[in-house]
Each structure stands twice: as structure tokens, then as C-alpha cells.
Amino acid sequence: MKKVKGKHIGAYGIIIRNDKVVLIKKARGGYTGKLDFPGGGIEHTESVVDALYREVMEEAGLIVTSYHLIDAVTTNIVWQMTSDIIEDLHHFGILYKINTKGKLKTTPDGIDSLGARWYKINELKKNMVTPFVLIGLEKLGYKLK
């Protein structure tokens, strides 16, 4: 078994209305099946804000109308990348609280999301979400069970 080290840098949007949050269900990677904020990797030469706008549109079908930086955070995950490779991933996330317009896209994006939907924050459990969701919601004053 081969062990590799990796890093990923992404921009993520936190959309909250009436104590509900928009989350996507992860389709792949170390967090497969977990709920995550819409967002993802920053492409070569792309600004962080441009990545935020693009990723929120791709994964949730929403247009970002305003944004406010919450924090830049990191987490680490060790996961089975392929049948013969384990990845030790250092994950950097730039978290923004955002306002949006448009209709929420609940269908898969064909890449990373199995669809987006609104979740009642008080019904979420720690084991259902990615570390960035846990960290981001806590920074905004919410506590998950």
C-alpha cells in the first residue's frame, strides 16, 4: 500500500436563512456521503472570489450576490484514495458567509455533488457533516450534536 501526501485549497459558501443552511452531499473523495458547503478548488490563475462564485453556481445553481469572509481554516484527513493508495490530505478552506439569488439546484453536478438542499441546522449531527461545516457553523454561533 502506497501512502501519499496531498493538499487541496478551496473556497466555500455558507448560505443560512431562518436557521437552515444549504449543503451538498459529497459524491467523491475523502468525504463521500458527507454534507458540505457548496464550494471547491481554486483553479489555476482563478481568484478566490471567482472560485467561490463558480463553485456555488456549479454545485447549488445559485448566484452569489454578496459575501463576507468568515475565516481560512485547515483540516486533515487520511483516506483510501484508490485500492492501492492512501492519501494524507491537508485541506485548506476559505469560508465565506454569502447571500444568493436563484433557484437551488437539487440534482447532481456530475463531478463532486450529489445535489444541494436546505437543512435545518438544529437537526444536523456532527457525524453527518464535513469538518468545514462543523467549523463554519460553530464560528457563526451554532453547535451541532
The 10s digit of each residue's pLDDT in 1-34 is 999 999 999 999 999 999 999 999 999 999 999 9
pLDDT digits (tens, 9 = 90+) for 69-125: 999 999 999 999 999 999 999 999 999 999 999 999 999 988 899 999 999 999 999
Q: Whole-prediction pTM value?
A: 0.95
* Domain assignments of the chain as residue spans, ordered by start: 2-139
Please give the CATH architecture assigned to the domain spanning 2-139.
Alpha-Beta Complex (3.90)
For 113-132, the DSSP string reads EEEEEEEEGGG--GGGB-HH
CB atoms near residue 120 (< 10 Å): 10
State the Cα torsion 124-126-96-24 to the nearest 10°.
-60
